[in-house]
Amino acid sequence: MVFHLAQLKRDRRGLVLLLTLLLVIISLATRIVLTTIAVSEVDFSFMNDLEIVFIGLFYDVVNAVYFSLPLVLYLWLMPHRVYRKAWHVYVLYGWFYILVFFCYSIRLPNGFSGINSILGLIL
């Protein structure tokens, strides 16, 4: 089953799926980068790798569901005639921005300089 972005934006459930996938993918990428940064401290065995992946995926899905709940409630309570208005797209873009920004900015500790470490790995 192939999903196109235009198809996902038309359906209310597609928007929730898109947000959930976005949050899980960002968390997975963060976990991979942090694992490569701490490569000297991680025991790389088959069972340990499976544990890191599956426990992390479970936490990512729970986190995505938790942060998707406000969008689910909003879309559930929004009447269909308002949902189909042209200006409503900008409201949904605002929801996406707030939810993704809030989700990943609140979890960073004070003085976190991980962006410099990540950019150092990429460059």
Handedness of CA 20, 34, 106, 87 (dihedral sign): negative
Domain range for 60: 5-122
**Domains: count for the chain:** 1
- What residues contact 118, with CB distance under 8 A and at least 6 apart? 33, 37
Give the helix ranges, DSSP H, for the chain: 5-10, 12-37, 46-77, 80-83, 88-105, 114-122
Query: What is the DSSP-derived secondary structure letter of residue 91?
Result: H
- What residues contact 31, with CB distance under 8 A and at least 6 apart? 52, 56, 60
Q: Whole-model pTM?
A: 0.67
Q: What is the per-residue pLDDT across 70-103, written as a single tens digit (0 to 9) for each?
A: 888 888 888 888 888 888 888 888 877 777 776 6
Q: What is the per-residue pLDDT across 11-65, written as a single tens digit (0 to 9) for each?
A: 778 888 888 888 888 888 888 888 788 777 777 788 888 888 888 889 888 888 8
Query: What is the DSSP-derived secondary structure letter of residue 119?
Result: H
